[in-house]
């Protein structure tokens, strides 16, 4: 399939936008401090001490050299003062090393803790969001950018800290240089201006490129997964797809590589050019200091101090501006993270939310419900009117795409109807908080999740607070026939499932389904929904599973979606959907008498078994 050609020129982020991203920095630091206040404050104190050391070390060095010169000229040598100075420099050097290590350690620990904290928040936030947000590709780009740069955020923290530390170093060194020779500041400015120009020129470019490539990067991740994972391996091998997938991956990656190489070359080229100018200015200053020393204005110690201080100042200032660009770039990612965390979700949190009744007393009612998926113009279901009575088992049947799962999503309030309303015991469900309302339901979707965790966890996911309640897990496994699966596995409930992790065991489709059904039994839900839960079970297991389900959930409300009519007929009533509308609804006998689509499909399947 030819790929559509896409302009991949990044939108350049301007300097103002780069600066604007810094507004998130205070919040960022507040969050880091909250993660571990003791470590945070120790880090700040260490950095303040560390910042004052370079100028002190340089100055003691100058005193040592001057003292050496004095002692060389002296007739009667007294080295006591010299040794004190050497000991002081030695002490400062040790202190500087210890403090630097302390800073690195606390940076790493704080960074790790903050990174864990943000990952947990991203997981929690994702679970709070509505399904329409989760199914939106723009949302995925946001999520991708929020997830990215977890390590970048750690670097950002240390960069900002170092920046503050360097400001103190720069000011103290500047003070030292100005005290001896103020005119050196002019040369310093000349040496540093090229770096500033360079940084302004490239500010935000890497971020712009990465941002404009968010979608493609997700595509690359997907292609990597499709080409190299156990899930896709069978078809990739059988259809010989690896060459195709690898080529698709490569051609997309090459485009990114070309762009990023262009940027890297420009940066390196301009960087070297400006650096030559900066270095020339430094040597200009150096020559000037030498002349002044030879002329007898400066002592040898002052020469060493000034040239050392000048050189350090230049590299510190250069580092300051380069780091500034790195900080604004990382802060742009920070902005993505906070924007994601601040995403609002349409939970009806208004004060008027009604408390949810303990039990469903009369049932649910769909009144003229119509629905279009977000960003779609098509009515997926329309003019839907039916009642799901309390205690009733209602089956949905219909061809693929008829809208069965969509009705379930509406009943569960993953989406709100585009028109019409859904009532619970006569009250619009909109008046309840979705998160509370959803607690009513125990659901097994057709694409239920096969968690690559232990079997126990897979069952307990239905009511995770009860994971330690062995009796409840046993009972759920027994009801769903998952007990047979447990007894066949060497480690029973503690068996790791799936192939991704060590000693994991993969299960057959039917075995997974039994475990998923156990999950529904685990939750003592008011309403049970089974969306094609038995499609992978063999005929005997399916009949058994359904008969058990009907017995075990007596008095409970349930919705069952199935394409197997032998299953469907066990339900109290059956609703037939066609092209998003209710075609007929009634008991098996009524629909057979009706002699419309249900009777036709039932007879078709029955004939297949003859
Ligand atoms: N998230 C979505 N965004 C846009 N359209 C969707 C989405 N999910 C489903 N649809 C569309 O809605 C229609 C109904 O889908 P639905 O999943 O409800 O059908 P179904 O009756 O459950 O089908 P099946 O028997 O194949 O499971 C289909 O045309 C489908 O393409």
CATH number at residue 598: 3.40.50.300
Same domain, 320 and 440: no
Residues 308 and 454 in one domain: no
Ligand 1 and 398: CB distance under 6 A:
yes
The helix (run of H) or strand (run of E) holding residue 577 is strand 573-578
Residues 277 and 326 reside in one and the same domain: yes
pLDDT in tens, 180-233: 888 888 888 888 888 778 777 776 677 778 778 878 888 898 898 898 877 788
**One domain, residues 368 and 314:** no
Q: Closest ligand 1 atom to the C-alpha of 532?
A: 27
| CB 172 less than 6 A from any atom of ligand 1 | no
Whether 284 and 378 map to the same domain: the answer is: no
In a domain, 242, yes or no: no
Pair 301, 370 in one domain: no
| Predicted confidence (pLDDT) at residue 140 exceeds the cutoff of 50 | yes
Residue 374 in contact with ligand 1 by CB distance below 6 A: no
Is there an atom of ligand 1 within 6 Å of 515 CB?
no
Residue 66: which of 301, 231, 226 has the closest Cα? 301
Residue 88 domain-assigned?
yes
Domain total of the chain: 2
Span 39-93, pLDDT tens digits: 999 999 999 899 888 889 989 999 999 999 899 888 888 889 999 999 999 999 9
Residue 477 placed within a domain: yes
Residue 219 lies in a domain: no
Which of 136, 384, 406, 532 has the most ligand 1 atoms within 8 A of CB, as the residue to mutate?
Answer: 406
User: Is the CB of residue 49 less than 8 Å from the CB of residue 169?
Assistant: no
Measured CA to CA, the distance from residue 183 to residue 167 in angstroms comes to 21
Mutate which of 133, 404, 531 for ligand 1? The one with the most ligand atoms within 8 Å of its CB, which is: 404
Q: Which domain holds residue 89?
A: 16-204+265-341
Do 322 and 369 lie in a common domain? no
Report DSSP state, residue 463: G
Candidate from 372, 373, 561 with most ligand 1 atoms within 8 A of CB, to mutate: 373
- What ipTM did this prediction achieve? 0.97
The pLDDT of residue 12 is 57
Domain identity same for 302 and 392: no
Q: Of the residues 307, 341, 375, which one is the last residue of a structural domain?
A: 341
Between the CA of residue 270 and those of 197, 201, 265, 284, 311, what are the distances in Å? 10, 9, 8, 22, 21
- Band of residue 1 on the pLDDT scale cut at 50, 70, 90: very low
Q: Phi and psi (nearest 5°) for 561?
A: -110, 130
Nearest CA to ligand 1 atom 24: 400
* 497 alpha carbon – ligand 1 mean position (Å): 30
- How far is Cα 210 from Cα 40, in angstroms, rounded to an integer? 31
Asked, for residue 418, whether it belongs to a domain, the answer is: yes
255 found inside a domain: no
- Distance (angstroms) between ligand 1 centre and the Cα of 389 equals 25
Average pLDDT, the chain: 85
Closest residue to atom 8 of ligand 1, CA basis:
406
Residue nearest to atom 19 of ligand 1 (CA): 401
Same domain, 112 and 74: yes
Same-domain status, 301 and 154 = yes
**Which CATH number is 32's domain given?**
1.20.1560.10
In this structure, is residue 9 part of a structural domain?
A: no
Domain assignment of residue 8, yes or no:
no
Is 82 found in the same domain as 161? yes
Closest CA to 313 of 55, 47, 48: 55
Q: Do 471 and 398 share a domain, yes or no?
A: yes
Boundary residue ending a domain (309, 341, 373): 341
- Nearest-angstrom CA–CA distance, 21 and 332: 5
Distances (CA, A) of 350 to 229, 249, 346, 601: 45, 48, 11, 46
pTM for this predicted structure? 0.70
Q: Is 376 in the pocket of ligand 1 (CB under 6 A)?
A: yes
Confidence of residue 13 (pLDDT cuts 50, 70, 90): low
Residue 529, classed as helix, strand or coil, is strand
């Amino acid at each position: 399939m030819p790929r559509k050609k896409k302009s991949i020129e990044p939108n350049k982020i301007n300097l103002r936008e780069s600066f604007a991203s810094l507004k998130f920095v205070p919040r960022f630091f507040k969050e880091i401090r909250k993660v571990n206040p003791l470590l945070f404050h120790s880090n700040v104190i260490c950095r303040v001490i560390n910042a004052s050391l370079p100028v002190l070390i340089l100055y003691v060095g100058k005193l040592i050299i001057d003292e050496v010169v004095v002692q060389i000229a002296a007739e009667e040598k007294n080295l006591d003062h010299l040794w004190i100075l050497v000991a002081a420099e030695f002490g400062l050097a040790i202190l500087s090393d210890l403090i630097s290590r302390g800073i690195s350690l606390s940076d790493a620990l704080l960074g790790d803790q903050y990174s864990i904290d943000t990952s947990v928040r991203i997981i929690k936030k994702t679970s709070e969001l509505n399904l329409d947000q989760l199914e939106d590709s723009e949302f995925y780009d946001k999520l991708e950018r929020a997830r990215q740069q977890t390590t970048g955020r750690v670097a950002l923290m240390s960069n900002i800290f170092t920046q503050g530390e360097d400001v103190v170093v720069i000011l103290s060194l500047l003070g030292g240089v100005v005290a001896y020779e103020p005119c050196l500041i002019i040369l310093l400015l000349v040496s540093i201006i090229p770096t500033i120009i360079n940084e302004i020129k490239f500010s935000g470019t890497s971020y712009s490129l990465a941002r404009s490539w968010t979608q493609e990067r997700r595509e690359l991740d997907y292609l990597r997964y499709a080409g190299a994972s156990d899930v896709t391996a069978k078809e990739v091998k059988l259809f010989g797809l690896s060459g195709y997938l690898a080529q698709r991956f490569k051609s997309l990656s090459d485009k990114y590589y070309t762009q990023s190489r262009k940027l890297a070359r420009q940066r390196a080229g301009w960087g070297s050019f400006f650096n030559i100018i900066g270095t020339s200015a430094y040597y200009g200053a150096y020559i000037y200091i030498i002349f002044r020393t030879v002329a007898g204005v400066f002592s040898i110690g002052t020469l060493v101090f000034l040239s050392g201080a000048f050189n350090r100042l230049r590299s510190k200032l250069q580092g300051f501006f380069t780091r500034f660009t790195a900080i604004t770039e990382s802060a742009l990612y920070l902005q993505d993270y906070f924007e994601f965390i601040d995403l609002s979700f349409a939970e009806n949190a208004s004060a008027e939310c009604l408390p949810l009744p303990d039990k469903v007393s009369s049932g649910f009612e769909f009144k003229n419900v119509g629905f279009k998926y977000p960003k779609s113009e098509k009515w997926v279901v329309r003019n839907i009117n039916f009642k799901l009575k309390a205690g009733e088992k209602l089956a949905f049947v219909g061809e693929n795409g008829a809208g069965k799962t969509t009705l379930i999503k509406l009943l569960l309030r993953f989406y709100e109807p585009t028109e019409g309303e859904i009532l619970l015991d006569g009250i619009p469900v909109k008046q309840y908080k979705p998160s509370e309302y959803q607690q009513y339901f125990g659901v097994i979707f057709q694409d239920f999740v096969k968690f690559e965790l232990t079997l126990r966890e897979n069952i307990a996911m239905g009511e995770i607070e009860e994971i330690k309640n062995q009796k409840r897990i046993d009972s759920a496994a027994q009801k769903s026939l998952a007990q047979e699966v447990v007894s066949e596995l060497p480690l029973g409930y503690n068996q790791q499932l799936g192939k991704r992790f060590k000693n994991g065991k993969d299960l057959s489709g039917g075995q997974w389904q039994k475990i998923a059904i156990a999950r529904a039994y685990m939750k003592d839900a008011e309403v049970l929904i089974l969306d094609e839960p038995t499609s992978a079970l063999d005929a005997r297991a399916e009949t058994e599973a359904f008969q058990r389900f009907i017995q075990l959930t007596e008095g409970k409300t349930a919705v069952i979606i199935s394409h197997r009519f032998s299953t469907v007929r066990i339900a109290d009533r059956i609703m037939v959907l066609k092209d998003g509308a209710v075609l007929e609804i009634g008991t098996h006998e009524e629909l057979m008498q009706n002699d419309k689509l249900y009777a036709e499909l039932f007879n078709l399947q029955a004939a297949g078994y003859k």
